[in-house]
Each structure stands twice: as structure tokens, then as C-alpha cells.
Structure 1
Amino acid sequence: MTRVFNFSAGPAALPEEVLSQAAAEMLDWHGSGMSVMEMSHRGKEFTSIIEQALADVRELMQVPAGYQVLFMQGGGLGENAIVPLNLLGRNNKVDIVETGSWSAKSRAEAARYGDLHLAASGLRAEAKQGKYTSIPAVADWRVRSDAAYLHICGNETIDGVEFFDFPDMAALGAPDVPLVVDVSSHILSRPLDVSKCGLLFGGAQKNIGPAGLTLVIVRDDLLDQAHALCPSAFNYKLVAANGSMYNTPPTYSIYIAGLVFQWLKRQGGVAAMAERNAAKASLLYDALDQSELYITHVEHACRSRMNVPFFLRDESLNEAFLAGAKARGLLQLKGHKSVGGMRASLYNAMPLAGVQALVDYLKEFEKSHG
């Protein structure tokens, strides 16, 4: 068997060490005689797994006191409905900054539950490619001071736009408005300042583990804001009070996530991963910038380190490019159907060797087709 370099945006590559450990423990976890898939979620074996995973998240992300760490279900898209159901019980005003396809989806979902206000938008409606290429200047945001929360997407997986700092709500004239951040595609890739946020959430299938698990970090004072119609299994207060086991959690996904957290700690933690990810992204962006065949649209200051969309100037070469990449073991490079082109996702589990192999292929393809 030959492992490929998997540039998928999610479900994404996992560290080989983690996969090997999971394979070794598949039939018998730590002498229990059971697979983790077979365990009772309330038994001592799984209790030890989830407690360690929760502790590791707190350590890796430096979660301050006064915040709950929750393991949820429903993925990132599901959480876009769960968040407003948990925060709009007393005040139904939602403000959103739209910087890409995912925050646009968040906007549409929140509008079903509350009074939605677009605080800022980076949409370039006239663009054929790269409709979202920048983050609107914070000075131009118009945030309502009495909103229940302000939502941003920390990293736009489809469009490749990333926030490298979270806004100061006081500077926006809304010091009492909690900041909600979708961190699905850059969580654990670099340090994130949890203390600036009221709530962070992310689907696991990019930097944490397999699909089926969602991580939520929520400030204690936001636990009692749920709408009366919020399902009990998705009510943050109930989930927190029951240690993320109010209902049967996605046990195997939590187990794999826990192995990833331990792997991250062995690599030196989030700060060490940030250095690696910066190096990988720089290597790829430098190659694209020096090319006459490939083009990127995202402004340099907000180029994502996790998801790098790019286009061939001659789009008739797209299929040939993808076929050549596949032949070299470089997979899942086709861009999202909504934007086209190509996209390379450089999550934590992608080694530098994989990015170097892609850069070598980019140069080879341009030499033969430029």
C-alpha cells in the first residue's frame, strides 16, 4: 500500500501515527477486550477517554476559566443552527460579517431564527472568480451595540480568507456583544485567543478527527440564553451539565480526536504547528506568486494558511492538471464546485513533503503547458 498526499478540505488527512495507533487498538482497547466502538459511553473505559480529550483541548487551546468545552454532533453546518438556538432566547438580534461562502451560509441559517443584520461584507458580486478575496476593514463594520452576538468565520474553507486576529468588540462600540467564531478549518493550526470570544465552534473533520464530532467552547454566561424551541440534546447548558454526555456522544470520533490531541502535544503543541503551517503555506504561495500559469485572488494580508484556492489562467487545462496530479499521488485538489479552480488544504496532518511534492508538480506542469 502506498499512502498519497491528500489535500482534501474535509474529511481530511489524519496523522499516520494516529491511524496506526487506532488500528492497533481496534479490537482491544488497553486490555479491555473491546473496541472503543463497542464501549458504553458511561463505562469507566470511555469516561477516561473523554475526560482526557477534554483536558487536552483545554491545555492545547489555553482555554481560560469560565468557559465550557463541549463535544457536540451535527458538524459545522449543523452548529450554524444550534448557535442561534442557544443564544437568541432573550434577544433575537444577530450581526454577521460575511467574508466567504461559509459565513454566507451562517447568515442564511441565522436569518431563520432571528433579526439578522449584515455588519460588513467582502462580496465582489461582479467577479467570475474570487468573489470573496478580503476581510472588510474593521473600521467599516457596523455592529449593533444591542445584538445578541456577532458572528464571523475565522477561516473560509472554500474561499481561502483567514482572520489572523479577532476583533476587539469594545473598539467596535459593542463591548457587551459576544463574538462567535466558526473555527472549523483553522482550529489547532495556530494559537487562537479564546478570551476575545464568547463562543467558538468547529467541525472536527479538518484538523481534529473524523466527521461526526463538533467542538464548542462557550463562555459560562452564555449557557442560559437558549431559545425555548432549542432541542434538549443541543442545549449547551444541558450538554455542559452532563459532561458532553447528555445523550450518546459520537464515541469513536471523540476517541480519534483524543489521539490527535495527544499527537499535537508530542509535536510541541499549537505554537509549533503554527510555525510548520506558516512554512508550508509560504512554500506554496511563493510558487504560485512566481508563476505565469497559476493565479490567486485573495489579498496577501488575509491569505489562509489552511486552504489555498488557485486557478489556472487557461482553464481548459484543468482536467489535465488534475489527472497529472492524481498520477503523482496528489489527490483532492479540485476546487469547491461553487468557485471552481483548484484548492490545496494544508491542515496539520499534511507534511511539508506533501507541499513540496505539489510545488514540484506545479512547476513541472507549467514547464510542459505554459
Structure 2
Amino acid sequence: MAVSSFPGDLESFLSSHHLSPTSGFLPSPSPDVSFKNFEFNIWLFTAKSIPKLLWNYPGEFRKQVDALPLLLFTESRDDLPQWRLAYCALSYIAQAYVWGAAVGRPTDEDEAYDEKVLDYIPASIAVPLRHVAFHLGIQPGLTYSAVCTWNWQRKFPLLSSTTQERASNLEPIFSFTGTPEEAHYVITHVMLEFAGGQALRLALEASKATGEKNGDSLEGALRGLTEAVTKSKQELSLVKQDLDPDVFYSRVKPYLNGLGATNIHPKGVFLRSSSQDPTKGEWIKLSGASASQTSLLPTFDTLLGVTHSEEPCYTYDERMRLAMPQCHVQFLDALTCLPRVKDYVSVNKTNQQLLEAYNNAVIALEDYRDRHFTVIGKPLWTSQDSFD
């Protein structure tokens, strides 16, 4: 249930959930790209070898993974950048191990070891992946966080804190194919999250103004939110730009599939828990990496009071929450206790300027969501929440 006041200042509220007032759900500062403990760099080396070994030397990648020692991640539990780096590296290795070099290649009975799709992950990867994922409160497999949110680095440092982020200065830390198409897909989503960071801050400012019953501040925040969401939509339009569909859908997209989410894995994928006994472990079915796992859309819905009339859409969003980091899910839960913009606007409908600002924000969000699902799938949402 929403409350009438906002809990403290915005920066403190965001930082308590490991969010940034400038970059939103993206890490600030940027993600770690190496391990402090040199012992774990073997995961880094293995993950970064995926594009070269899978495509140029079939059979070598899985042999390299099979030879890995079973290590348990031991960094400080508060050092989130290190845990996120471990999660990304292990997720990429696990996904590449399962799918191998079968993606984009014809199959035959004489195919090499790396050209077969497997239904298990060896203990050397499965055990630490399970451990790291549990600590982060996220599923032990590839997610939007592993592919986009935590998987980027700058080619050159920013000149100052006010320097604008540019896609040309960003690149993925890990890749399955090493293709420009995969890098473009990752970085355009990172830029989308950067644009969404400003919209997130404005949506929270709107909630804060609601709690303070400050109509003028609320109107200003809503108008700013409309502009920020519109900018995010422009970033979203770049996702498919310069993206060769043949390369993306045949070589990149299959690696983003879940573990046990297709008919290829009817039982799921087996996470081995013992290097000595391959029968010990558990079967899992995971949804894979999807842009629907972004926390931006449910954030805007909650703060503006947008509801969904179609049950399938609600179920879809709830399923995506299972693949979000725990800190993001906790943030979304905390939002339900904040002042709701819609409640204030509904009792002040005679304020035409405020009403117009709210309706424009909802319409902008509707356009953004429709465009979002047009890019990643069919449209699933229509708004019934603007006021007449």
C-alpha cells in the first residue's frame, strides 16, 4: 500500500538498493573487468576465449572447461562488482558449454564434440555459478543482467563526470560470437538503460512531489519524465539498426535462449554438483536472457499507477522478475510503498495542466512499452490509465 510521504532523499533511497541517480540500474562506477584475486582470472580467460575457440577450433572450448579446477568464489560479500563479474563470466561459460558450436552450423552424425548441444553443466562451472547466483539473488544462468546490465566497459575513460556516454566508446566485456551484431545488441541496450536512468530519477521525483502534495513540482517532474521516456524510445529504435538479421538470429540469438526453455532440452539442463559423481546435481529450467527482464518498465508502471488489464501480460512480467537481481526486485517491492502519482492526480483532476502532464507521461510510457515489445516480441500492453 502506498504511503503519503517519501522515505528520505532520492540518492539515499537509490543507493540503499545499489542503484544510481544518473545511470539507474546500470553499475556506477562501471563494472569491474578483472578479478582482484588472480586465481579467478581463469574464469575470465575461459569466458573471453569463447568466440575464438567455438568458431575456429571446435572441440577445444569444452576440453578447456572440462579441465578447469572447481573453485568457490571467496571475495568479500559486500564487493558486488566482483560478484557480478564472476556471475557474468560463469554464465557465459555455462551457456557456451551447453550450446557449443552447434549454433549456426548444420548437424550430422559425425559432428565434433563442440558441435553437439549438451544437457548438463560440469561441476567446475555449475557449483561456483550456483554459489554466485545465490549470493546475488538471481537465477544461475544467462540473464539480461549478465548480457547487458553488467556486461560493458569503456574503451576510454570519460573526460569528466559531465561527459555524455556514447555508444562508440562502449563495448561488451564478454561475447559468444565476437560479431559486431552481438556487440551492437548489447551496447544499444546499455545505452537504453543509461537513458532510462534519467527517467527513473524523474519518476521518483514525481512520487516525492506527490507525497509532499506539491502540484507544481509534480507537474514539472512529469513533463521531464515524458521527455526522458521519449528519449529512451529513440534509443530503443537503434536496437535493430545496422543489425544483420541473418547473423543475429542464426549466430547470436540462440545463445540467449534459456537452459531448458526449448524442445531441445525437454527435461531441462543438469547442474552437476560433484566432479567425481556426474549423477549428483539438479535439473533446472531457466528463461534465458531477455530485454523484458529490465526493471525500468515495472518501475514506471508502479510509480505512475499504471495497471495491466491482460492477465498474460501480468504473468509475463512476474516471470521476468525471477531473472532480475535481488536488489532490483527489492527495489520494485519498495516502490509499492511510495506515494502513487495517479492517486494525487485523480483527486486533483480540476488542475488541467497537471492532468495534461500526467496523461502525456502515461501516453509516452505506452508508446515506449509498445515499441519495446515490438523490438523484442509482440506488443502485450495497452494503457487504460490516462484520465479523461
Fold shared by both chains (TM-score > 0.5): no
Q: Which has the higher strand share?
A: 1
**Which has the larger share of helix?**
2
Whichever of the two has the greater Rg, that structure is: 2
TM-score normalised to structure 2 length: 0.23
